[in-house]
């Protein structure tokens, strides 16, 4: 197997698109990143296909400041990927992917680097293909507007602090608030005033992924997040999408149970590693 690096997102998409679509839900993250890069190219993006006899078997993609994302694939595809990264002197903040690939990457990376490799967390990818039961909480869902920016910034700070994501990822999310609002990808549940924030990401024409979902402490325990996720799921599935996806932190059984009550079912386990010097 060998690593093949791309500088053009369209060429990369043409190479790995069919491979990724074979497991569309499991590969929703790289599919969504490639889709955005085709629409909005970035010179900083790292795009690599691992090929076996000139056929792609795995894809790796990174858009700084975010971590490297691996697609599904055979574990045997990881060593040539790591060797390529080492030869090119490419530093990585971390890696996230379906757990078997993340574990294989961490093991291969450790053979070439003496730095720290910290397993950060496990998250379940959940999916729902039909309308969920409606939430019972009072209020209504509306698209966030420009006048909500200050509130969204404060709540974003709260969300990222609670989940423990790096500050550079938090700053990137906040920087993009205006773009997310303009694209109608940020939402608020209102009950007289905003009480819950959630967003969604376009991954493929047939799937969308909900997240983040955040309720400030004073409004928790009243069913607002359940109602908001239920309604947004309904709206996203009302078009031509077949699936709504979301990630649930394994360490947070409260949110996981809530999503399962709405009918979301587990697809696979994702794992994230942080790579240190």
How does pLDDT run across 73-119, given as a tens digit for each residue? Answer: 999 999 999 999 999 999 999 999 999 999 999 999 999 988 899 99
What is the pLDDT, as a whole number, of residue 277? 81
Cβ proximity of 107 and 117 under 8 Å: no
What is the pLDDT, as a whole number, of residue 167? 83
Domain boundaries, the chain: 2-114, 128-274
What is the pLDDT, as a whole number, of residue 240? 81
Give the domain 128-274 fold: Aminopeptidase (3.40.630)
C-alpha distances (whole Å) from 265 to each of 152, 198, 236, 257 are 29, 20, 17, 10
Cβ proximity of 48 and 5 under 8 Å: yes
**Contacts by 169-175, CB closer than 8 A, 24 or more apart:** 169/65, 169/66, 172/65, 172/66
pTM above 0.85, yes or no: yes
What is the pLDDT, as a whole number, of residue 274? 94
Q: Which stretches of the chain score pLDDT less than 50?
A: none
Question: Residue 130's CB: how many other CB atoms inside 10 A?
Answer: 11
What is the pLDDT, as a whole number, of residue 263? 97
Strand, helix or coil at 14?
helix
What is the pLDDT, as a whole number, of residue 168? 82
Spacing of C-alpha 102 from chain mean position:
15
What is the pLDDT, as a whole number, of residue 239? 80
Phi, psi at 111, each rounded to 5°: -75, -20
Query: b/e map of 160-172 (b: 16 or more CB within 10 Å)?
Result: beebebbeeebee
Backbone dihedral region of 192: left (phi > 0), alpha (psi from -120 to 50 degrees) or beta?
Answer: left
Residue with tokens 């690599």: 48
């Amino acid at each position: 197997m060998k690593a093949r690096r791309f500088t053009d997102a369209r060429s990369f998409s043409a190479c790995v698109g069919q491979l990724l679509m074979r497991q569309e839900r499991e590969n929703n993250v790289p599919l969504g990143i490639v889709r955005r890069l085709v629409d909005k190219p970035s010179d900083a993006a790292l795009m690599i296909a691992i090929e076996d006899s000139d056929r792609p078997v795995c894809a790796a993609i990174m858009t700084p400041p975010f971590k490297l994302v691996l697609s599904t694939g055979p574990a045997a595809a990881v060593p040539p990927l790591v060797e390529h990264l080492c030869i090119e002197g490419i530093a990585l903040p971390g890696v996230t992917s379906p757990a078997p690939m993340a574990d294989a990457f961490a093991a291969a990376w450790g053979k070439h680097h003496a730095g720290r490799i910290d397993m950060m967390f496990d998250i379940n990818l959940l999916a729902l293909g039909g309308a969920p039961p409606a939430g019972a909480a009072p209020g209504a869902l509306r698209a966030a507007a420009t006048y909500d920016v200050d509130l969204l910034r404060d709540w974003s700070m709260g969300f990222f602090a609670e989940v423990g994501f790096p500050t550079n990822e938090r700053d990137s999310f906040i920087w993009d608030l205006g773009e997310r609002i303009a694209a109608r990808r940020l939402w608020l549940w209102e009950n007289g005033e905003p009480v819950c924030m959630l967003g969604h990401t376009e991954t493929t024409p047939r799937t969308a992924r909900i997240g983040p979902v955040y309720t400030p402490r004073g409004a928790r325990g009243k069913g607002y997040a359940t109602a908001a996720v239920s309604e947004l799921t309904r709206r996203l599935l009302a078009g031509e999408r077949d699936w709504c996806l979301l990630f649930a932190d394994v360490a947070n059984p409260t949110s996981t149970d809530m999503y399962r009550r709405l009918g979301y079912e587990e697809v696979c386990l994702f794992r994230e590693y942080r790579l240190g010097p």
